[in-house]
Amino acid sequence: MPKVQQLKRATMDKLTVKGNWNQVKGRLKASYAQLTDDDLLLESGKEDEMYGRLQKKLGKSKEEIRKMIEDL
C-alpha cells in the first residue's frame, strides 16, 4: 500500500475510533472484564500507549487489537 494511502487510512481509523470511542470502550469492557477505564484511556497522540496497555492485558498483538476494535 502506498505511503499516502497508509497515512489516509491511519487518519480515518483514528477519527473513526475517536468518534465512536465511548461505544467501543463499553463493548470492550463488556467482553473483557479485566479492562479498566485507565486501560482504555484514549488521549490524543498517545494511542500507542493505549495499544501497549491492551496488548499487555489481553496478550494480543497490536494488529489483533486494532482488528478487534474495528470489528466492534
The per-residue pLDDT for range 7-41, each reduced to its tens digit, is 545 644 664 556 688 888 899 999 999 999 999 98
From residue 59, alpha-carbon distances to 24, 33, 67 in Å are 19, 14, 14
Phi/psi zone of residue 50: left (φ > 0), alpha (ψ -120 to 50 degrees), beta?
alpha
In tens, the pLDDT along 36-60 reads 999 998 887 788 899 999 999 999 9
Domains plus CATH for the chain? 3-71 (1.10.1470)
Question: Hey, what's the cell of 30?
Answer: 463488556
Dihedrals phi, psi of 16, to nearest 5 degrees:
-65, -45
Q: CB-based contacts of 18: which residues, under 8 Å, 6+ apart?
A: 42
Residue 4 has pLDDT above 60, yes or no: no
What does the longest C-alpha to C-alpha distance in the chain come to?
38
Q: 0.85 exceeded by the pTM?
A: no
| Confidence at residue 7, expressed as pLDDT on a 0 to 100 scale | 52
